[in-house]
Structure 1
Amino acid sequence: MRSQQSRILVQLRDLILKGEFAPGERLAEIPIAERLGASRTPVRLAFATLEQEGLVESSPSGGYVMRSFTRKELDDAIVVRGVLEGTAARLLAEIGMTRPMSDELHDCLAQGDKALAEPELTIDGYADYVDMNDRFHKLIIEFAGNDALARAIEVNDRLPFASASATLPMHTSTGDGRRWLQITHYQHHVILQAIEKREGARAQAVAMEHIEIARMNLRSAFERSQDYSDIMPAIRLIRR
């Protein structure tokens, strides 16, 4: 169930990024479940997650509707996440990790290594990578041990495309998307290496650069179409 749940979530994020839903459009569970070849339960759970991420809103009449937001709103949220996660990485490097913490982070990255080592990255493999990515970022925040910082990140995650995996390159078995995933995963290893070596400034710098890829991926979505006719109409309405 977890694999299907993750797969449905990444597919729905992909559809939103591609502008498949208009601002204010009601997102009916049954047609979307049929479109994705899934049951209603994982679709409903995915919508709940997307609401937490600020991408959809609850409808007074029940269900969910597509939210509208601006390009600047998305960019601002990603910038803030970079600052917060960079701080978490620096703090963890400065206080040091226990062996169980290190082992858990290495086990996490091994899951990403396995997914990207496959000759073809299937949608299920991509979902596994997204799960790994979410877990890696959450562990660093947890291990940093700063409750105020964790709460700030939790609040920021409720803004559109601010969460750790929301702007990963969308699923693709070849080409730029796969290369970007390989780059982001290499950065995961560099961040962990810097933390283990107690290099706080380096861990912070790489973590902030890591988040910059999210901004680049979002910018790429805008630039795929010169007139933005097929890219995120929710944002196209207010381009600022």
Structure 2
Amino acid sequence: MSKPGQRVLVTLRKMIVSGELAAGERLVEIPTAERLGVSRMPVRMAFRTLEQEGLLSKNEGRGYTVRTVTGEEIAGAVEVRGVLEGLAARQAAERGLDPNAQALLQQCLETGDALFAKGYVTEEDMEIYHDFNRRFHQVIIEASGNPAIGHALARNDHLPFASVSSLAVDRNDMAREYRRFNFAHMQHHAIVDALVNRQGARAEALMREHANATMRYADLFGAAHPQQEGLKVIRDM
């Protein structure tokens, strides 16, 4: 997806999370594009992605409708992702990383280190994080040597905020976002250390913890306001 498309996707996802786009609200390309000040194409692409993520449902006529999403639904999907990615990490560690996989993971770590070294993040930084974070997870899934894990994750990704790519960034509190994403990146370092040292059980536990940090560390990084209670469930990796 292009950078404009990614920005529109993140913006719409955040609007759904915060309730600015309420459950049951109908969305159509042209009014949405005018509202966001963009062309129709990135909006069209974002709508399709949000439908795949389970946040929008396609109408029989034109446009889409914002789905009702419960905290239980999100928590269940994230838990499943943690189990699957934990299994991938354990199997990758037990098999041993090949030099290419290890080099790719190291590149992800170095990119993240450079990103967070300056002590703050911007919206553009979050686009960089989105890309290398997705690559980090994909390398581990492929390194497991178990194609069934990827297939199962692809099905689970259609549930709301189950995908590792489903990031919702609070542009109004980038200091908190820095703490949140920097913490997730420190977990990346621990996971790679376990993989390189072929510590299967540790790699699995760390990967499951990484997935479920969305729920357990929400308060640490600043919970949402009561009227946005769902936000704290989905705003972490």
* Aligned residues: CA RMSD: 2.6
Structure 2-normalised TM-score?
0.87
Aligned to 2:95: 95
Structure 2: unaligned runs, 5 residues or longer: 232-237
Matched residue of 1:65: which SS? strand
Indicate conservation of the 8 Å contact 1:78/1:215, yes or no. Answer: no
Corresponding letter in the other structure for 1:147: P
- Kindly tell me: are residues 170 and 111 of structure 1, through their superposed partners in 2, closer, same or farther at Cα, counting changes over 3 Å? farther
Segments of 5+ residues of structure 1 without an aligned counterpart are 234-240
1:88-136 CA distance string (max 9 Å, x none): 1111001111111111122233333333234542212112211221221
TM-score, structure 1 as length reference: 0.86
Closer, same or farther in 2 for the Cα pair 1:171/1:99, shift >3 Å? Answer: farther
Q: Which residue of 2 aligns with 1:237?
A: none
* Structure 1 residue 208 displacement after superposition: 0.8
SS of residue in 1 equivalent to 2:65: strand
CA distance in 2, matches of 1:42, 1:220: 34
CA contact (8 A) 1:24 1:66 kept: yes
What does residue 115 of structure 1 align with?
115
Give 3-state SS (helix, strand or coil) of 1:175's partner. helix
- CA gap of 1:172–1:213, structure 2 versus 1, over 3 A, is farther
Say if 1:84 and 1:168 are closer, same or farther in 2 by CA, change over 3 A.
farther
Q: Give the number of the structure with larger relative contact order, counting CA–CA contacts within 8 Å between residues 6 or more apart.
A: 1
Paired residue for 1:48?
48
**CA deviation after TM superposition for structure 1 residue 171, in Å:** 4.4
Alpha-carbon distance in 2 for matches of 1:221, 1:127: 20
SS where residue 212 of structure 2 aligns?
helix
CA contact (8 A) 2:71 2:230 kept: no
Distance 2:17 2:220 in 1: 11
Alignment of 1:118-137 (within 5 A): 118=118, 120-137=120-137
State how many pairs are aligned: 232
Q: Which residue of 2 aligns with 1:214?
A: 214
Counterpart amino acid of residue 156 in structure 2 = N
